[in-house]
Amino acid sequence: MSEISRNGAGASGQPGRIGIGLELDAVHMKILEVLRENGRISVSALAERVGISRANAYTRFEALRADGAIKRFTAEIDHVRTGLGITALIFVTVRQQMWKQFRAELARMPEVEYCAITTGQHDAMIQVRMSDVAEVHAMVTDRLANIPAVKATETVFILDEVLRRPYVLPSDRDKARPVRRAAQEASGDVPLGKMRFVGAAEGRAALRKDG
Amino acid sequence: MSEISRNGAGASGQPGRIGIGLELDAVHMKILEVLRENGRISVSALAERVGISRANAYTRFEALRADGAIKRFTAEIDHVRTGLGITALIFVTVRQQMWKQFRAELARMPEVEYCAITTGQHDAMIQVRMSDVAEVHAMVTDRLANIPAVKATETVFILDEVLRRPYVLPSDRDKARPVRRAAQEASGDVPLGKMRFVGAAEGRAALRKDG
DNA sequence: GTTGAAATTAGTACGAA
DNA sequence: TTCGTACTAATTTCAAC
């Protein structure tokens, strides 16, 4: 039931701007880099890996937590082992003016792992974990369908989760190696034709107001 | 670059079946419940919260880790603070027989936080974090478009991440409260019409073989 | 922001229930 | 298996620099 930070694609605050609080320097970033890989590392070991003193590491660690740059520490669990081996994505079309109700209902659905409001054909995407396909069907038809705010849904199943990185950082960008296709790069010939961007549906501008 | 467990919606192993390793009992689940909320809790405090001895907690903690039920511990980071305030979902249509190449290219893209292979209109969904919208555009047109395995893409932006739960457990299901709509429940009248399930695209059956 | 010492806590080993 | 205790090693806190 954790409300997480708004991304605000254009609307709220400049992206890239570090919040009102702490100014994050290179050392802070390095700390985050270590912590996202190993959330249980001791602060002493962290200090060593980052190359700062223990006291400094404690100060920064606490500052990052207090500031909210680190939201929480969590254990990644193997859902297949715990009996929730089926994952589905449900794309939801929400009746305008009923966002508030939609969000309230979401809070009552603990089997929902993730929910994001998106541009494009649908309004929201929710990810659920279930023990079998029938349960997904029941969830969609019995629970979601009974929410007046839900106008329509479209469900797809996840066949394989190829990767999940423990939270991306800007420093990752530098590690990116562009695909080497000499001929294409030389001519600047990028096949734009096969790409498609989908903007927000009509009426979505009022999202924040009634959400 | 972490390969995560397969979900296998029907293909591999029964869902709900606890793997070859450890049999997870109620105490294991309770441990996971605590650990997903607070990944940095000490084993002593964990033992107390779960109601078992310290020694037992150590044994079970180690067993869960060794068994793979706990995959890793990680820090949840506020992406807005770290300068990656823009999140996008890119739905990718992959050329059949080129899954292996597609996966290889994904490994070289650190800005990709999540990738799942899905049923439905598209073949895969990837989630990326960027500092601005232009970077998403560059990523899609310059990097993804240059991968021969990518036939087409469709990009949507995430306007708001309403919730992210630190990994769902079966016990969460019991907390689910169905929507109370007396009239509808009495008559069993569920508006199935507004729901849609989308199966795998043609040729996706060979997914595992060339992936 | 750093170092080093004291106090506290974590992790291990082992015998008993 | 699980618990309780004792022992050892490590971490956190706090001080002075």
Chain C: bases < 7 Å from a protein Cβ: 1-4, 9-14
- Short-list B122, B182, B148, B167, CA closest to A111: B167
The pLDDT tens digits for A44-79 are: 999 999 999 999 999 999 999 999 999 999 999 999
Statement: the CB of B109 is under 7 Å from strand D: no
- Short-list B25, B37, B28, B33, CA closest to B64: B28
Distance from C-alpha of B160 to C-alpha of B79, rounded to nearest angstrom: 12
The pLDDT tens digits for B124-152 are: 999 999 999 999 999 999 999 999 999 99
Calculate the angstrom distance between C1' of C4 and CA of A29.
28
Calculate the angstrom distance between C1' of D5 and CA of B13.
44
3-state helix/strand/coil string of chain B: CCCCCECCCCCCCCCCCCCCCCCCCHHHHHHHHHHHHCCCCCHHHHHHHHCCCHHHHHHHHHHHHHHCCEEEEEEEECCCCCCCCEEEEEEEEECCCCHHHHHHHHHCCCCEEEEEEECCCCCEEEEEEECCHHHHHHHHHHHHCCCCCEEEEEEEEEEEEEEECCCCCHHHHHHCCCCCCHHHHHHCCCCHHHEEECCCCCCHHHHHHHC
Residue A161 pLDDT greater than 70, yes or no: yes
Q: Which of residues 50-79 of A touch strand C (CB under 7 A)?
A: 52-56, 59-60
Statement: the CB of B60 is under 7 Å from strand D: yes
Statement: the CB of A151 is under 7 Å from strand C: no
Bridge partners of B76, per DSSP, are A72
Contact check, Cβ <8 Å, A32/B87: no
Q: Which of residues 101-140 of A touch strand D (CB under 7 A)?
A: none
Contact check, Cβ <8 Å, A74/B74: yes
- Predicted structure pTM score: 0.84
Residue A166 pLDDT greater than 50, yes or no: yes
Work out the end-to-end distance of chain B between its first and last CA atoms, rounded to an integer number of angstroms. 16
What mean pLDDT do residues B73-99 have?
Answer: 95
> A147-174 in b/e burial notation, b at 16+ Cβ within 10 A?
bebbebbbbbbbbbbbbbbbbbbbebbe
Statement: the CB of B58 is under 7 Å from strand C: yes
What mean pLDDT do residues A126-131 have?
Answer: 96
Tokens of A13: 């605050």
Residue A141 pLDDT greater than 50, yes or no: yes
Q: Which residue of A has its CA nearest to B154?
A: A196
What mean pLDDT do residues A83-92 have?
Answer: 96
Residue B180 pLDDT greater than 70, yes or no: no
